[in-house]
Amino acid sequence: MVPTEPLALPLQSDSTGSAIGLGIILLFALVATAIQVAGVWKIFEKAGEAGWTALIPVYNLYVMLEIGENAWWWLLLVFIPIVNFVAAIKIHAGVARAFGKGIGFALGMTFLNIVFYPLLGFGEYQYQPQSGELA
């Protein structure tokens, strides 16, 4: 005898649940981005740069290079796969050094920026340029 009923029920998708889940993920991403941008904005202001430059992609990395007193060509290395990890650590190491912090803080800025950007921006850290310039 051939069974007349299917062996398994077809999967039914719940589009309402999927939409809510996607909305929660999107909301979390927007909040995380806003926290990071606010932290970078405050970092730039502490260093004497215009805070709004944190909103401009690529240029904000150039401003970080200036704050950390690194050469401009490190920005080019950001666009090379694998090498960009070294460039990001170098950029953040310069910024961390300019605020009196070490390599551990730079690694935190690179890999946990949602925590370390606001920590540096809203914390009690002061900008201390190495070349003697005062911002």
Over residues 41-64, the pLDDT tens digits come to 999 999 999 999 999 999 999 999
Locate all alpha helices (DSSP H) within the chain, ordered by sequence: 15-46, 59-67, 74-77, 83-98, 103-111, 113-122
Tens digit of pLDDT for each residue in 86-114? 999 999 999 999 999 999 999 999 999 99
3-class secondary structure, 101: coil
In eight-state DSSP terms, residue 19 is H
Find, among 28, 40, 58, 59, the residue nearest to 109 by Cα.
40
**Contact between 116 and 102 (Cβ < 8 Å):** no
> pTM of the predicted model, to two decimals?
0.80
Length of the chain: 135
| 134 phi-psi bin (left φ>0, alpha ψ -120 to 50, beta other) | beta
